[in-house]
Amino acid sequence: MGKKPTRRVMDASHLSVDYQSLSRTDSRAVKAQRGEDLAAEAKNVAINSRIAEHAIATLPSVHTMLHNSYAIIDTELRRLGRQSHRGGLDRADTAQFEKYAASLVRLVKMEHEVRDNSSLDAMSDKELTEEVVKKLQESTDE
């Protein structure tokens, strides 16, 4: 018969850092060292890059998600419309209609934000600077 495995409890408290008791300089130094150590360890960890590429490639675009959301809301609103012509909407259907209307408003706002962000991304630094100066002047004029 072989040896029975023993349970060893290790006290690692001497390895921990009490950030509260450190001075600001020491705290910054420890955090910087921690970042360097993590970066060094990350270089040694092999990552399957094909999995990462696949996961990124299968994510839907924002435009696709917006389009799908519009399609779902359109389908549900059409269903509620048909139901209202047949016999009217009950309390639950009315609540659903309110939720769909609110979701539609949120989607439109989100789409405008996406368009604004993509137009900002397409601007050159000079155009972006001019736009920021213009907005700042408009806000100070009010």
Instruction: State whether 54 and 115 are in the same domain.
Output: no
Instruction: State whether 110 and 80 are in the same domain.
Output: yes
CB atoms within 10 A of CB 94: 13
Tokens of 102: 């609110």
Q: Work out the average pLDDT over 84-111.
A: 87
The pLDDT of residue 107 is 86
Count of domains forming the chain? 2
46-72 pLDDT tens trace = 665 555 555 555 666 777 888 888 888
Domain for residue 118, yes or no?
yes
Secondary element (H or E) of residue 126: helix 125-141
